[in-house]
Structure 1
Amino acid sequence: MHGRILDAAAELFTKNGYAGTSIEAIAARAGIGKLTLYRRFADKDAVFLAVALRMAERSRAELREIADGDGELADVLGAIGRHLLGIILSPQSIAFHRILFAEAARLPELFARIVPDQPTEMPDATRRLFHRLAERGLVRREDVAFLDQQFVHAIIGKPLRKALFGASPMTAREQEEHVRKAVALFMHGMTRYSAL
């Protein structure tokens, strides 16, 4: 039932936004009574948080699997980049980003839980990859978080901003070209930066 509630809520938040989604609508879509939903979640904020955290964890798990694979660094970064861009530009992700930005001032604790300011104890996919490079002496250990941040922003920065402002969706070819160029630039820059 928990998963059914979150599936229903994710669908409604994506379609109707935060303000346009009610507890009653979530319960109805999940096929349960409102009181049953309230036994599991205190309020709509709690439902939204649970949906957002589940989305984030699923994405992290998929990306970790790619990052932990074998292959040349550029190929692994390219695979991570393609998958990450696909996740970020999905209609559900765009809808949830818009909600997060709209509700961040009203619900700072909620925003902090979903978008932590500090790295978590369990590194994300690219950070894990850069940690492995640091263990091999290919990058400095103190640069791992910085490299992780720079790579992620190179992949999603501009495409996400454009999507949030309603630009036409990137085609598969445009996404592939964007990732290819971002990875090539990052590899070149990382090599030079690590030598400083």
Structure 2
Amino acid sequence: MVARSMGAVARIGRPPKADQDMAAERIILAATELFAGRGFAGTSMEQVASHCGAGKDTVYRRFSSKVVLFEAVVDHAHRSAVARLESMPAVSGGPLERLKSLVLQLLHVNMEPELIALKRITFSEAVVFEKNGPIPPQPDPIMAKLVETVGEAQQVGAICPGDATEIASHLIHCMVALPTAAAMMGSNEFSSRQDVEAHFHRTWHWLINGVSGNKTA
């Protein structure tokens, strides 16, 4: 009887993995909201615990420090963005139309206020997050998909020959990085969806058709 009772206590003390994953997800979602709203310095582990209705010990068992928790928040945000882009409905038309749709969706995802806030924290707290040295490059499925689509557009002659990775990088810089950086700095230039799409279509036209008004140049 004693052995069975002790076994029952042991099982109660070890929640199933699914429950542990749900608890970690709840903590990450609460931390995301707090980090985005209050910043890194303005958010404490105690506030995260209170916000998600968990004990402080529960939070620390899963995330040993605030830096570790923030890294989990950023990773979760990145994986969510990848999942959303991968679940995009198929776009009719050729490779150039698919490339245009992919870049536009990437721009909209990156301009979401929550992601802007997390990016701002990452840059402002870079010294804290890289205390153990630079973070090694990680595989990026979004970039891989972009490079693949650029290559498909090149194959049908819609984009000039060249290094597909370099072309994809320039697309990200011109179409996504510039408005994202402006938003991170507090600019209201791209405060509405209409402003974002106006930037996209204007810049896309320049990149694809060229900025010269002289077609023979």
TM-score (norm 1): 0.80
The answer to whether the Cα contact below 8 Å between 1:24 and 1:34 also exists between their aligned partners in 2 is yes
Partner residue of 1:129 out of 142, 145, 149: 149
Q: Larger relative CO (CA 8 A, sep 6+): 1 or 2?
A: 1
Change (3 A) 1:110 1:79: farther
- What is the rounded CA distance, in whole Å, between the counterparts of 2:51 and 2:180 in structure 1? 29
Partner of residue 120, structure 1: 139
The answer to whether the Cα contact below 8 Å between 2:91 and 2:101 also exists between their aligned partners in 1 is no
* 1:186 aligned onto 2:207: yes
Deviation at 1:74, TM superposition (A): 3.6
- What is the rounded CA distance, in whole Å, between the counterparts of 1:38 and 1:101 in structure 2? 25
Q: Provide, for residues 153-177 of structure 1, a one-character-per-residue CA deviation record: whole Å limited to 9, x for no partner.
A: 1112321222122122432222222
The answer to whether the Cα contact below 8 Å between 2:98 and 2:149 also exists between their aligned partners in 1 is no
Partner of residue 4, structure 1: 26
Matched pairs, number: 185
Change (3 A) 1:44 1:142: farther
Partner of residue 193, structure 2: 172
Larger radius of gyration: 2
Please say which of residues 59-68 and 93-102 is displaced more in the overlay. 59-68
Q: Report % sequence identity.
A: 26
- Counterparts of residues 11-160 of structure 1 (less than 5 Å): 11-66=33-88, 69-108=91-130, 112-113=134-135, 117=137, 120=139, 122=141, 124=143, 125-133=145-153, 136=155, 143-160=163-180
Q: Over aligned residue pairs, what C-alpha RMSD do you find? A: 2.8
- What is the rounded CA distance, in whole Å, between the counterparts of 1:111 and 1:69 in structure 2? 41
**Runs of 5+ unmatched residues, structure 1:** 190-196
- What is the rounded CA distance, in whole Å, between the counterparts of 2:40 and 2:185 in structure 1? 18
The answer to whether the Cα contact below 8 Å between 1:9 and 1:51 also exists between their aligned partners in 2 is yes
Structure with the higher helix share, 1 or 2: 1
- What is the rounded CA distance, in whole Å, between the counterparts of 2:68 and 2:43 in structure 1? 13
Please say which of residues 7-16 and 41-50 is displaced more in the overlay. 41-50
Please say which of residues 49-58 and 77-86 is displaced more in the overlay. 77-86
TM-score (norm 2): 0.73
- What is the rounded CA distance, in whole Å, between the counterparts of 1:159 and 1:122 in structure 2? 22
